[in-house]
Amino acid sequence: MSQHRWLLIETSGREGLVGLGVGGTVITAKRLDGFRRHVQDLAPVMSDLLIGANWGPTQVYGVAVSLGPGSYTGLRVGVMSAKAFAFATGCRLVGIPTFDVLARQSDVPALRLDVIADALKDKLYVQGYARRGATEEWTTAMELAIVPKQAWLSRVTGDLAVSGPGVPLVEKDLPTAILVADPAQRQPALQALLDLAEISDGDANPAVALTMEPIYVRPSSAEEQWAERT
């Protein structure tokens, strides 16, 4: 395992997480509540964590940020902060899809997995994963999509496992044979984000910091309201 030092940013949900990882282990983390996910709030937390670990900004090997889908505001703030840090220090920048993080930490004895989240208006974000054996890692089997909740429920089969923050929206309607990830595994955690960052290793090219964008899939609420008015 490398001894690379990573700054970790996860802001896809109502509460944000910021942490540091080294040697494949998250060594410190701080949770941000839903009212403190602005750029001016995130930057001091990042600074405090670095000072507490006695790391200088230029000693950070890379910054890994969760890309979504998820909270429009949270993702924008997290990605902007990651890009700014990477551009300023020249460190690597790694964007990790949030559902890949959720899949990696889903410890369910199945070969098929759907990760789901609330897409509002009775719809779900859904991404499918698969693996050949129970000890192997999950790989993408279906690209991220937004589907009506009832349409997704109608095609659920008994060999499927389900994880993600959208589980409470469907749990009472799932067949009893469906395996459901433990509640602690349904929200993205920094350890899985760090694991995937170590695998991907990022890119030292500063141009990446200018082009990375969150995974929104659906428009923001403001954009949807505007479209309904026009």
Chunked into runs of 10 residues, the chain (230 residues) has average pLDDT values of 91 91 96 65 92 97 95 91 92 94 96 96 96 94 96 95 97 94 96 94 64 78 43
Q: What is the pLDDT of residue 38?
A: 59
Return the number of other C-beta atoms located less than 10 Å from residue 158's C-beta: 9
Q: Give dist(CA 77, CA 45) in Å, integer.
A: 13
Q: Which residues make Cβ contacts (< 8 Å) with residue 120, sequence separation at least 6?
A: 218
Please, what are the domains in the chain?
5-98+188-229 (3.30.420.40), 106-182 (3.30.420.40)
Q: Give dist(CA 78, CA 38) in Å, integer.
A: 9
Largest Cα–Cα separation, the chain: 54
* Long-range CB contacts for residues 167-176, cutoff 8 Å, separation at least 24: 167/116, 169/116, 169/118, 169/124, 170/116, 170/124
Which helix (H) or strand (E) segment is 193 a member of? helix 190-200
Nearest to 163 by CA among 189, 190, 127: 127
